[in-house]
Amino acid sequence: MNRTLPTAAAAVAIAALSLAACKKSELMAPPPKPPPASSRDANAAMAKSSPQDAATATSPTDQVAEAPPSPQAPMLAMAYRLGLAVPAAQVRPLMESHQEACERAGTDQCQVMAASADAEHGDRATASLTLRATPAWVRLFRDRAEADAKDLGGKIEVSGAEGDDLSTQIADTDAAQQARAAERARLTELMRRHTRSLEDTLQVEQEITRVQGEMDQASSELAAWQNRIVMQTVTISYESTAMAAPEGDAAPLASAARSFLGNVFEVLAGLLTLASFLLPFALVGAPIAWLVARRRKPAPETPAPAE
C-alpha cells in the first residue's frame, strides 16, 4: 500500500500540469474574428422576423409559378383605306404605277385583287385599286403612295385602318379540330375492333366521313383566317383634284360654283331626254288631231239664191 501512494500522487500531478497547459494555450490564442456585416444583418433580420413571416416566405420557383400568364398578342386582320386626290391627267397613270409596283414585288409579297379606272371627262377622273400584301410591304407602300400624291401636286383625302380580331375564332376552331380528331380516332378504333356486321361497319364509316368533312371545312376556314392575318388588305381610291371636297369657310360657295355648269347641263340633259320621249307621240298625234279637228269643222253655209 505504501508503494501505490507515490504512483497516485504522480498521476494527479501530471493531470494538473496538463490542465494548466490547456488553460494557458486558450489564453494565448487570438480572439475569434467577428462575422461579416452581411451575415450579421441577415441573422438579425432572421431573428426579428416572426414565425408567421417565415411561414409565408416562398421560394423564387414558387413566385414564378404563381405569376399571372402574360397576355397573348391579338391576331388582327388589318384593312387599310387610302384616298388620293391628284390632277385629272395623273389619276390613271398613278393607279397603274401602283399596280405595277405590286406585281413586281411578287405574289408572295403583294397580290392585285381589283383595279379599275373611269374615262376622263374634262377635269373629272376616278380610279380604284385593291391590294393584299404583307405588313412590311404595306408600310412601305403607304409611305410611297402619300409621297407620290404630294409630288404630283395632290393631297391625301382619306387615310384610315380597321382591324378584325380573329383570336377567338381561331382558338375555338383549333379546340374543335382537336375534339374532332379524337372522335375520328375513336371511331376508327371502334370499326377495327368491335364491328362484326357489314351494317355496323357502314354506319361507322359514315360517321368517320362526316367528322372528316367537318375537319376539312374547319381547316379551310383556319387557312382563310390566317391568310387574312398574314396578307393585309389595302384599298386605294384616286380622284381628280377638281372632284375633291374644298376646305375652309368658303367651301360651300366654292363647291356650288364648281358644280354650277354641271347642274345647268344636267337640267338641260333632263329636258332633252323628256323631249325625246314626247317627240314620237307628237309626230303621231299631231296628224290625227288635225284630221279630227277638220271633220268636226262645220261646212260653210251657201247663200240662198235671190228670187
Domain of residue 211, residue span: 167-228
Domain-embedded: residue 267: no
Domain-embedded: residue 142: yes
Res 223: pLDDT: 85
The alpha carbon dihedral of 242, 243, 247, 253 has a sign of positive
Res 57: pLDDT: 44
* pLDDT tens-place values along the chain, 307 residues long: 444 434 444 444 444 445 444 444 443 444 444 444 444 444 444 444 444 444 444 444 444 455 555 556 678 788 999 999 999 889 999 999 999 999 999 999 999 999 998 876 667 889 999 999 999 999 999 999 989 999 988 888 888 888 888 888 888 888 888 998 998 898 888 888 776 778 878 888 888 899 889 899 888 888 888 888 888 999 999 998 765 555 544 445 555 555 666 677 788 888 888 888 888 888 887 788 777 777 776 656 666 566 5
Q: DSSP string covering 108-158, please?
A: TTEEEEEEEEPPPBTTB-EEEEEEEE-HHHHHHHHHHHHHHHHHTT-EEEE
Query: In terms of domains, do 135 and 193 share one?
Result: no
Domain-embedded: residue 137: yes
For the chain, the domain total comes to: 2
Query: In terms of domains, do 154 and 172 share one?
Result: no
Domain-embedded: residue 95: yes
Query: In terms of domains, do 81 and 124 share one?
Result: yes
d(CA 57, CA 45): 13
CATH number of the domain to which 104 belongs: 3.30.70
Query: In terms of domains, do 219 and 185 share one?
Result: yes
Looking at 185, 215, 240, which one is the last position of a domain?
A: 240
Q: Please report how the helices 88-105 and 135-151 are oriented relative to each other, as an axis angle in degrees rounded to 10.
A: 160
Query: In terms of domains, do 140 and 236 share one?
Result: yes
Query: In terms of domains, do 125 and 200 share one?
Result: no
Q: What are phi and psi of 234, to 5 degrees?
A: -130, 125
Query: In terms of domains, do 180 and 129 share one?
Result: no
Res 19: pLDDT: 47
Classified as helix, coil or strand, 86 is strand
